[in-house]
Amino acid sequence: MNLIDAAFAPGRTVLCPFVTAGYPSLDMLGPTLLAMQAAGAGCIELGMPFSDPIADGPVIQESYYRALSAGATVSGILRAVGGARRAGLTVPLMAMTSFSIIFKIGTRELAEACRDAGFNGMVLPDLPLEEAPAVVEELTRAELRASLLVAPTTPSTRRDEIVRWCNGFVYYLSVSGITGERAALPTGLEEKIADIKKVTPRPICVGFGISSPAHVRALVGKADGVIVGSALVRRMTAAVQAGTDPAEAAGRFVAELAVGLTSA
- The residues carrying an active-site annotation are 45, 56
Check residue 173 and give its pLDDT.
94
Tens digit of pLDDT at every position of the chain (264 positions) = 799 999 998 889 999 999 999 999 999 999 999 999 999 999 999 999 998 767 667 899 999 999 999 999 999 999 999 999 999 999 999 999 999 999 999 999 999 999 999 999 999 999 999 999 999 999 999 999 999 999 999 999 999 999 999 999 999 998 655 555 555 687 889 999 999 999 999 999 999 889 899 999 999 999 999 999 999 999 999 999 999 999 999 999 999 999 999 854
Q: Coil, strand, or helix at residue 25?
A: coil
Residues with Cβ within 8 Å of residue 244, at least 6 apart in sequence = none
Give the Cα-Cα-Cα angle 206, 141, 2 (nearest 5 degrees): 50
Fill in the amino acid letter for 212. S
Q: How many CB atoms lie within 10 A of CB 155?
A: 8
* Strands 44-47 vs 170-173: parallel, antiparallel or unpaired: unpaired
Report CA torsion sign: 91, 68, 125, 16.
positive
Domain span at residue 7 reads 3-262
Check residue 58 and give its pLDDT.
85
Check residue 18 and give its pLDDT.
97
Q: Taking the chain, what is the end-to-end CA distance rounded to the nearest angstrom? A: 29
The answer to whether 224 and 13 have CB atoms below 8 angstroms apart is yes
The answer to whether 148 and 165 have CB atoms below 8 angstroms apart is yes
**Neighbour-count burial of 11, counting CB atoms closer than 10 A to its CB (0-12 exposed, 13-18 middle, 19+ buried):** exposed
Domain harbouring 160, CATH code: 3.20.20.70
Per the structure, the count of domains in the chain is 1
| pTM metric for this prediction | 0.94
Shortest CA distance to 100 belongs to which of 69, 127, 118, 119? 127
Fill in the amino acid letter for 130. E
Residue 183 and residue 210: Cα distance in Å, rounded?
9
- What contacts 24+ positions apart, CB below 8 Å, involve 151-158? 151/176, 152/176, 152/186, 152/192, 156/195, 158/129
Residues with Cβ within 8 Å of residue 235, at least 6 apart in sequence = 249, 250, 252, 253
246's torsion region: left (phi>0), alpha (psi -120 to 50) or beta?
Answer: alpha
Fill in the amino acid letter for 73. T
Give the Cα-Cα-Cα angle 254, 260, 264 (nearest 5 degrees): 165
Residue 43 and residue 243: Cα distance in Å, rounded?
28
Note the Cα 194 to chain centre separation in Å. 21
The answer to whether 89 and 39 have CB atoms below 8 angstroms apart is no
